Chain A
Amino acid sequence: MEIAPHEILDIEAIRRDFPILDQVVNGRQLVYFDNAATTQKPLPVLKALAGYYEGYNANIHRGIHALAEKATSAFELSRRAIQQFLNAAHVEEIIFTYGTTDGINLVAQTYGRRFLNTGDEIIITTMEHHSNIVPWQMLCEEKGCVLKVIPIDDNGDLILEEYEKLLSERTKFVSVVHVSNAMGIINPVKTIIEKAHAVGAKVLIDGAQASSHIDIDVQDLDTDFYVFSAHKLYGPTGMGALYGKRDVLDSMPPWRGGGEMIKEVTFEKTTYNDLPYKFEAGTPNIADVIATYTALEYINNLGKKNLAAYEHSLLEYATEALKDIEGLRIIGQGAEKISVVSFVIDGIHHQDTGVILDQQGIAVRTGHHCTQPLMRRFNITGTTRASFAVYNTKEEIDRLVQGLHRVRKMML
């Protein structure tokens, strides 16, 4: 007999790793359902951060002393951990960034500016986060490229036939979100990548939401770029990574100039460092990079498959439980989803819903979730979004349902 995920994972023990959850907000025990915005950090990650500053804070790479050596090796260990996390072929294919947005901008400003020209087409989707729209619009303005958008159906799923119609020899780049932050829908990125490659386009996958929920294998996906943020996978803020195929990264010019990214500087000419340092100018976010290793270790210890199975059970439970709320409609009802429920309630503004849930100690996100074009597609101005992580429970989902009953009672 198959063992249910909650029997494999000791959720109560996991919750003890996240002391922030054990607090009273507005007179009620906190329910934290804003995990798609950022997850909480387990104690080992907090200890790793403090441990670096307490024990071996030093600038990395060029230092000759013991602390610098120790910091450098912890820093580079994290790069190896991310390589394994994504199953990248080479460690130098992992570039540290400030997060997903930073990674997308890096690719747009280097690959995009070097290789895209007037009339070239970039394909994105209706459900992109603004961070995967605006960098490409900026590039289009500068280089005269054209942005094309894959539409979605009423469930929120991409219409792949329309994608195929958009593809042509003019398509030079495809940048698609792996999992929609506003709806939780998982996109068929492997198919999208294959079709893009068939016309010779390069592909970037925005993995901000996917990385903590889905097993990622960049070699199997055959993606040219993959970006994610550590703070959405139990790691620190201000830290992310860009994966790029080595030959593609090699072909790209550096972006930010400064220390670390050079081989030799003279006033006449500077030669640039090799991968990955070519793209890592300046003192990096050392502490957060190091603590990301611990976050990945934490996820690996729990087992990503166990996490996904448990979170999926929360999603199913919530989807069913929310049927109890009259006038509630879930936005994004695609077949493949991670643990996000985004919804609107007839006659009630999402902002009011969020305020009244907060007064009951329940933290959700309301608004357009930085996906205004997607909201327009559904003819709404925003939703209320509850997103679940491994430390959440069915009892907490019951609290959400009770909270929403209260919202309706107050408003209608």
Chain B
Amino acid sequence: MTINEKQDEIIEEFDLFDDQLDKTQYIIDLGKKLPPMPEQYQTDDNLIRGCQSKVWLHSEMQGTNVHFEADSEPTAQISKGLVSLLIRILSDEKPEAVASADLYFIDRIGLSSLVTSRRAGGLASMIQQMKQFATQQAAKNQTAAQSTL
């Protein structure tokens, strides 16, 4: 499934709810399903800046894809749910695709006030950190491709 197909799937899921509270409940439930992150990744370096609550993001290359794992302090369930959405969309994708992804799902799931404001755990910072890693990896790929020419 492409990044946009995954976004479209999420938009459809959120379309089932009219009420903001139900949508938020869905985000919380998604967060609860996020696999726990190994403790060794819960470092200060992996903390997402700009979040009121603690959220860690670990990024690595697995083969030719970027792979993300994340977790939050146990009580920060909305942040955890939001980062779980990003992982679903952006993890295990080619770095070039992540770097250039247009994340239109944010406006379309009807929670833009929640997910764009700093209140809800710095979604913008999460995206920025994921894209930054992907951009660095994409640049490496490009350099490698040029040197083989």
Assess the A352–B21 pair: CB atoms within 8 A. Answer: no
Report if A359-B119 is in contact (Cβ < 8 Å); known contacts: A352-B75, A411-B28: no
Q: Which residues of B contact A355 (CB under 8 A)?
A: 24, 78, 114, 119-120
Q: Does B84 contact A (CB under 8 A)?
A: no
A26 at the interface (CB under 8 A from B): yes
On whether the beta carbons of A356 and B119 are closer than 8 Å, the reply is no
User: How many B residues are at the interface, by size bracket?
Assistant: 10 to 19
Bound together, the chains give a CA A349 to CA B53 distance in angstroms of 8
B residues engaging A (CB < 8 A)?
A: 19-21, 24-25, 28, 52-53, 73-79, 114, 119-121
With A and B bound together, what is the CA distance between A367 and B75 in angstroms?
14
Instruction: Give how many A-B residue pairs fall within 8 Å (CB-CB).
Output: 52
B21 contacts A359, CB within 8 Å?
Answer: yes
A352 to B28, CA, bound (A): 10
B77→A411 contact, CB < 8 A: yes
Closest CB-CB distance, B115 to chain A, in whole Å?
Answer: 10
What residues of chain B lie closer than 8 Å to A354, measured between beta carbons? 119
B126, chain A: closest CB distance, angstroms: 15
* B114 touching A348, Cβ below 8 Å: no
- Contact size range, A: 20 to 34
Is the beta-carbon distance between A348 and B78 smaller than 8 angstroms?
no
Among residues of B, the one whose C-beta sits closest to the C-beta of A346 is B75
| Known pairs A355-B119, A356-B21, A411-B77 / 8 extra A-B pairs, C-beta < 8 Å | A351-B79, A351-B119, A351-B121, A355-B78, A358-B119, A366-B52, A366-B119, A382-B52
B76 adjacent to A352 (CB under 8 Å): yes
- Min CB distance B56 to A, Å, is 15
Tell me if A371 counts as interface (CB < 8 A to partner B).
Answer: no
Are the C-beta atoms of B76 and A349 separated by less than 8 Å?
yes
- Separation of A200 and B25 alpha carbons in the complex (Å): 59
A348 and B75 contact, CB distance less than 8 A: yes
Per-residue interface assignment for chain A, residues 370 to 412, with 1 indicating a CB less than 8 Å from any chain B CB and 0 otherwise: 0000000000011000000000000000000000001000110
Main secondary structure of the interface of A (DSSP, over half): mixed
Q: Which residues of A contact B19 (CB under 8 A)?
A: 27
Given contacts A348-B75, A349-B75, contact A367 B20 (CB under 8 A): no
Q: A359 with B52: in contact, given A349-B76, A351-B119, A351-B120 (CB under 8 Å)?
A: no
The secondary structure that dominates the B interface is helix
- CA distance in complex: A154, B24 (Å): 35
Closest chain-A Cβ to B4's Cβ sits at a distance in Å of: 28
Do A26 and B20 have beta carbons less than 8 Å apart? yes
Query: Per-position contact with B for A275-317: 1 when CB-CB < 8 Å, else 0?
Result: 0000000000000000000000000000000000000000000
Contacts A351-B120, A351-B121: A359 and B73 contacting too (C-beta < 8 A)?
no
* Chain A residue nearest in CB terms to B119: A355
Q: Is A132 an interface residue (CB 8 A)?
A: no
Which residue of A348, A381, A382, A410 contacts B21 across the interface (Cβ within 8 Å)? A410
Question: Given the complex, which residues of A lie within 8 Å of B25, measured CB to CB?
Answer: 410
Residue A55 CB within 8 A of the other chain:
no
How far, in whole Å, are A258 and B120 apart by their CA atoms in the complex? 44
Q: Shortest 4 CB-CB distances between A and B: which pairs? A: A349-B75, A349-B76, A359-B20, A352-B78
Q: Take A351-B53, A351-B119, A351-B121 as given contacts and tell me if A356 and B24 are in contact as well, using a CB distance cutoff of 8 Å.
A: yes
Q: Is A360 an interface residue (CB 8 A)?
A: yes
Contact partners of B52 in chain A: CB under 8 A: 351, 366-367, 382
For this complex, 18 residue pairs linking A to B, each with C-beta atoms less than 8 Å apart, are A349-B53, A349-B73, A349-B76, A349-B78, A351-B52, A351-B79, A352-B28, A352-B76, A354-B119, A355-B24, A355-B78, A355-B120, A359-B20, A366-B119, A367-B52, A410-B21, A411-B28, A411-B77
Flag if A351 contacts B78 (CB, 8 Å): yes
A390 to B119, CA, bound (A): 27
**Complex contacts, B120 vs chain A, CB 8 Å:** 351, 355
Using Cβ atoms and an 8 Å threshold, which residues of chain A touch B74?
Answer: 347
The distance from the CB of A359 to the nearest CB of chain B, in whole angstroms, is 5
Contacts of A367 in B (CB 8 A): 52
Identify the interface centre among A26, A351, A411: most chain B CB within 10 Å of its CB.
Answer: A351
A349→B24 contact, CB < 8 A: no
Chain B nearest CB, measured from A353 CB (Å): 10
Complex: A410 Cα to B75 Cα, angstroms: 12
Residues on the A chain within 8 Å of B79, using CB: 349, 351
CA distance A147 to B119 in the complex (A): 33
Closest chain-A Cβ to B72's Cβ sits at a distance in Å of 8
Shortest distance from the beta carbon of B34 to any chain A beta carbon, whole Å: 15
**Binary interface profile of A, 334-353, with partner B (CB < 8 Å = 1, else 0)?**
00000000000001110110
Q: Which A residue's beta carbon lies closest to that of B54? A: A381
What A residues does B75 contact at CB under 8 A?
347-349, 352
* Assembly CA distance A366 to B76 (angstroms): 13
A25 to chain B, nearest CB (A): 11
A348, B77: Cα distance in complex, Å: 8
Task: Evaluate contact between A360 and B24: CB separation under 8 angstroms.
Answer: no
